[in-house]
Amino acid sequence: MKTSLLAVFSALIFLISCGDSASEKNTNDLTEPSLPFSQVTNSFPLTSAPLADSLIYASDVPQEQVNILRQDLAVLDTWDGLMTASESQKLKDLMGLSTVGASDLSLWFKERIKYILQSDLSRYELGLVFGSDTQVGLQQLGTTETGDEANTGGGNIGTAIFLTTLEEQRSRSNLSYLIIRINDSWVSVLSPRVGLMRIGPALFDPDYQVNHTNIRALSNSLQRLEVLFHEARHSDGNQASGSVGFAHINCPNDGTIPAELVGVPACDDMANGAYSVGAAVLKPLLHLCERRCTASEQEVLKAIYLDRISRVTAGTGLLKLLDPTPETGFNAVNISDFQAFNLR
């Protein structure tokens, strides 16, 4: 099971590039938005609530998947934090934390992931905010799923949309930022820290589970937690240091990477990237499995951990250490009286 940011970014670029250039005010295709623009979410206050109760799920995420993810997150909420000194130090170094108990990891995650979307992005409506024109161009997102994504566990859509906006602003100087409708709110994508995660096709696919017969098995929960924290790292970084999204690199053909991954963006050339974070969170959680998982499940989880570590490769150079300072992002504008038009 892997994650994909580049594929989603490329697909979103294609999707919104097909729309009207909006170089002038669009008066020929005005429409009423499906939800008034006055209902725009720009902030998401952090609370001490359990992590299992802290995420917002899009209404089209199947309830069974919501229930399973809540169970997964409850594993972290109730974790006793048992870990070795080296495991603790690794988490502190990677995540910039002084303490790494369950509540610390929970808060770190809440700062980076806030919304869970379902795999099929065509269900969601996107708005391109043109501030100087006082208009919003509306378009349905198209599906980004391909055969190559069948084994993808998740995707950080917020970072993909942010990067798409930066790319589009090169040719659309009046484009301020993008908004996406989630349930009864328009969510402004001002920075990667908006925290939008898409469920990947493999996250609940029995063929990609550690335990193929019991989707709720602890071993499967631990694997999904690794994916969730991996995706959370993609919400970090900034333009100034070139670290936005902690993007993966194409895996090198250096003999250390499986042949099927060579040339695929499924490796990191930085020491503190998404694969390192996911592995560092998974490692101490494996202690939970010692009495509650079968020997076979424990071996598979250890193999997953080793796989993630193996994807951190410097190639012929040295591993980078990227700046995780979050991107400041775009300035929000009041779009409550903006006109809407359909992008073509």
Structure tokens at 283: 């490692």
pLDDT per position as a tens digit, 295-317: 999 999 999 999 999 999 986 67
Tens digit of pLDDT for each residue in 80-114? Answer: 999 999 999 999 999 999 999 999 999 999 999 99
Which residues, listed in sequence order, are joined to residue 138 by a DSSP beta bridge? Answer: 127, 342
Q: Which among 119, 140, 121, 108 has a CA at the least distance from the CA of 34?
A: 140
Over residues 169-190, the pLDDT tens digits come to 999 999 999 999 999 999 999 9
pTM of the model: 0.92
Question: Who wins on pLDDT, 38 or 114?
Answer: 114
CA distances from 141 to 107, 146, 284, 341 (A): 30, 15, 38, 15
Q: What is the pLDDT of residue 21?
A: 45
Q: Is pLDDT of 156 > 70?
A: yes
Among 21-30, 150-159, 202-211, which is the least confidently predicted range? 21-30
Question: Which of these, 56, 114, 128, 38, lies nearest to 330 by C-alpha position?
Answer: 128
Strand partners, 57: 116
